[in-house]
A and B are shown apart, each in its own frame.
Chain A
Amino acid sequence: MSIWAHWPILPIVLPFLAGAALLLLRDTRLGCRAALAIAATCAQLLAGGVLLAMTDGWGAASWPGGAGVYELGGWAAPFGIVLVADRLAALMLTLTAALGLAALIYSLARWERAGIHYLSLFQFLLMGLNGAFLTGDLFNLFVFFEVLLAASYGLALHGSGPLRVKSAMHYIVVNLAASALFLLAAALIYGVAGTLNMAELARRVARLDPAGRGLFDIGAALLGIVFLVKAGAWPLNFWLPAAYASAAPPVAGVFAILTKVGVYALLRFSVLLQDVGAPAPFEGAWLFYCGLATLAAGSCGVLAAQKLDRLAGYLVIVSSGTLLAAFGFAGTTLTGPALYYLVASVCGSGAFFLLVELAERNRSAAADLLAISFEAFGLQDRYDAENTYEMAGVAIPAAMAFLGLSFFSCALLLTGLPPLSGFIGKFALISAAIAAQPHAPLSHVALFVAALLLSGLAGLIALSRLGIRLFWESERPVPRLQWVEAAPIGALILLCVALTFAADPAMTFFEATAQSLHDVPAYERAVLPTVEDAAGNAGRSP
C-alpha cells in the first residue's frame, strides 16, 4: 500500500496527535506550543490541498470515481468504518484548515493565554470537523460530531465570564439534546436498515417494506432535525447569535464553519437518498422553505442587532439560510454556485468575526473582561508579566485605514455586493435559479431571488449603520493592532479576492464538485466495490 493510500486519514490523525502533544507541553513554553499548533494546522492545509488534487486525478489515478476510500483497520466497507475523501469532502477539509490557520494565528496575539488548553481544544475541534467531513459511516459521524462539539464547548467557554458561561450553557444544552436525538435516529435507522454505512444505506432503503420505510422516515426526520440544529436553521437557531457573539473572537471565527457542518451533512444525505425518495427534512421542498424561513429570521435579526458581534452571528444564519434554500431548490444546477457561495461566505464571516473585536477595541468592555479572566485562571505567567499584551508587538500604522478597508470588504462579501466574491456567488445562484425555471415552479424562483436580494439589502443597511457608528466616532483613541491580528483578516479577505479574480476556474471546479457529488452510483461503487447491488437481501434478518 503506497503512502498515497493512507493520505485520507491524515486530516484526522494530524490534529489528534498535535492536540495530544500540546497537552504535554507546559503552558509557559509559548513559542514551542505556538510553533507546534501552527505546524499541525499548516500540515492539515497541505493534506487537504493534496487530497483536493488527488480527487482531481493527480498522484493517485487509481481512485475510482474520484473518491478515495480509506478502510479503517483494513475492514472492507459494509463491515468496517470507511473514510471517503471525495471532492466535496476535500474542499471542506481545505476550507476548514485555511480558516483554522487564520483563527489560530490571530489567537496567538493574546487570546491563547486567556484560558487553559486553548490550543489543544482548537486542534480537537479541527479533528472533529475533518472527521465529520470525511466519514462514510453514520455512527462515526455522530462520534466526530461529539468530538467537535466537546471541543467547541470548551472553546465557547474560553476566557470565562458570566456572559460567556450563560450563552455557552444554552449552547451546550441544545447540542446535548440534539445529540440524544442523533443517537435515537442512528439506532432507529440501524434497526430498520441493518447498516450504518452511508453508501449501503442508500441502497438498502430502496428495498425496505412499507412498515420499515415508515420507521426509516421517522429516523431520517430525527436525523434531519439534528442537522438543522447544527446548521442554525429557523426555528432551531435561537442559541446561535448569543453563543457566537459571546465566544472569544478567534473561536467565533472558526465557529463560522460549524454551521456549515450541518449544511454539509444535510446535503450529503439528501443527495444519497434522493433516488429512493428522500424523507422529509432531506427532501427538496422542505429544505427550500426551511432555508427561506431561516433567511427571513436571520434578516430580521440582522436589522435588529445593535452590536457588531450579534450582527455577525445573524449574518452566519443568513448564509446558512441561503445555502439551505439553494440546496433545496429543484434540480441540481444550484449546487455548484452554492458551494462557491459557501466558501466565500465562510471566509467572509470568519474574517468578520475576527475583525469585530479589533474594530470595537478601545470602545467596549472586552479588555476588562479579558483582564478578569486572566485573574480567574491565574495565568499571569512570566511572559505576561514582562510584556503586557497591549504593548506587545509593533503597532501598525494607519490602523483605522486597515480596519475600515477590512470592514468595507467584509460588508461587500457578506451582503453580496460587487465586486467581491460574495456578489459572484449570489449572482451565480440567482442566474442558476432563473435558468432552472422550466423545471422549477416560477413561485420558487421568485421567492428565492427575492429572499436573496432582500437579505442582502438588510445586511447592507445594518452594516452601514453600525459601520458609521463605529468608524466616524470622533473622540476615540486609535486602536493598536498587531501584525498577527491583522494578517489573518487580510489573508482571508485576499482569499476571497483571489476567488473573485479566479471566478471562472473556481466556478468550473465547484461545478465539477457538484457533479461528482450528485453521481451517487459512483460513490457507492467506490465505497462498496465488491458488494453487488442485487446481492444483499432486503432489510435485516429478524
Chain B
Amino acid sequence: METVLALAIGVLGGSGIYLLLRPRTFQIVMGLSLLSYAVNLFIFCMGRLRLDALPLIDPRQGGEPSLYADPVPQALVLTAIVIGFATTALFLVVLLASRGLNGTDHVDGREPEKD
C-alpha cells in the first residue's frame, strides 16, 4: 500500500509541477489542482497508514491511542482541501478575466513572437 500511495503522490506531484511550468493558464490550473491532490494525499499519509482504524474515540473500545488513527492530519487535510478549492476557484476567475481582457490564454497576456 505504501508503494502505491508513494507512486500516486509522485506521479500527481510530478505532473502538477510539469503543468505548472507550461505557458497556458488552463494548464496552470490543472497543474495546481494535481499538485494540491498530491499535497493532500501527502498530508493524509503523514498520520501513518492504518487500515480499519477510526480517527474518533469509540466508547466501546476505550481511549487507548494505539487503537485509533491520528485525527490531526485528517483535520489538516480538510482545511487544506477547502482552502485549495477556494483559491483554485479564484484563480479560474482571474484566468477568465485575463482571457477576456487580452484575448489570449498565455500567462503573459500576449502570444510569444514566432521566429
Contact = CB atoms under 8 A, between A and B. Distances in A.
Contacts of B36: 180
A177 B40 CA distance: 14
Q: Is the interface of A mostly helix, strand, loop or mixed?
A: helix
A234 B80 CA distance: 28
A444 B76 CA distance: 42
A166 B102 contact: yes
Contact of A146 (B32, B43, B83, B95): B83
A165 B87 CA distance: 16
B55 to A, nearest CB: 15
A413 B66 CA distance: 59
A139 B109 contact: no
Given A187-B46, A187-B73, A170 B107 contact: yes
> Is the contact region of chain B dominated by helix, strand, or loop, or is it mixed?
helix
A180 B81 CA distance: 11
Interface string A143-181: 100100110011001001110011011101100110110
Contacts of B90: 150, 153-154, 172
A115 B29 CA distance: 25
Interface residues of B, number: 36
A165 B79 contact: no
A150 B84 CA distance: 11
Contacts of A173: 20, 28, 32, 91, 107
Contacts, number: 94
Given A169-B25, A170-B107, A146 B35 contact: no
Interface in B27-46: 28, 32, 35-36, 39-40, 42-43, 46
A184 interface: yes
A191 interface: yes
Interface string B48-67: 10000000000000000110
B14 to A, nearest CB: 13
A73 interface: no
A541 B67 CA distance: 12
Nearest to B48: A542
B42 A184 contact: yes
A184 B97 contact: no
Contacts of B76: 139, 186-187, 190
A27 B109 CA distance: 31
B5 interface: no
A157 B32 contact: no
A169 B20 contact: no
B115 to A, nearest CB: 23
Interface string A117-146: 000000000000000000000010001001
Nearest to B32: A176
Q: Which of A150, A170, A176, A190 has the most CB of B within 10 A?
A: A176
18 contacts: A154-B90, A157-B94, A157-B97, A166-B98, A169-B91, A169-B98, A172-B87, A173-B91, A173-B107, A183-B43, A186-B76, A187-B39, A187-B42, A187-B73, A190-B46, A190-B72, A191-B46, A542-B48
